[in-house]
Amino acid sequence: MPRVKRGTKRNDRRKKILKRASGYFLTKSKLYQAAQEAVERGLKFAYSGRKQKKRQYRSLWIVRINAAAKINGISYSQLIHGLKAAGVELDRKMLADIAVNDPTGFTALVGQAKAVLDTTAAA
């Protein structure tokens, strides 16, 4: 069997890991084994972070909608229920954007929700 030395392949693989670890503290950016562990750990956090980002944005949108709803005299849950009953199909991202950038438009949406809630409560 021919002898395998792995010179360039090994160097390329190590260079790739060390390049990803540039900017890490002390040996994590200099020594291959420490860098490899740090990069793998970082990739795990990056994966879970992509999932957390979606949750955090949804939470932010809900906070913004709730704050604007309270200003207009309705709770967040009642607003969402009223909008669903009124057939308004805006997601939370769009509602939060309207609440921040167009308060009069948001007030109109709250009016629609309140009108539907009043008719269902009276019936």
**What gap in Å lies between CA 113 and CA 123, rounded to an integer?**
16
- State how far the Cα of 85 lies from the Cα of 106, in Å rounded to an integer: 17
CA–CA dist 82, 18 (Å, integer): 55
- What are the residue boundaries of the structural domains of the chain, listed by start? 9-122
Instruction: Please tell me the CATH superfamily of domain 9-122, with its number.
Output: Ribosomal protein L20, C-terminal domain (1.10.1900.20)
Residues 4-55 have pLDDT tens digits of 888 899 999 999 999 999 999 999 999 999 999 999 999 999 999 999 999 9
In the chain, pLDDT over 90 holds for what percent of residues? 91
CB 32 within 8 A of CB 18: yes
Q: Determine the residue type at 88.
A: V
Residue 109 pLDDT greater than 90, yes or no: yes
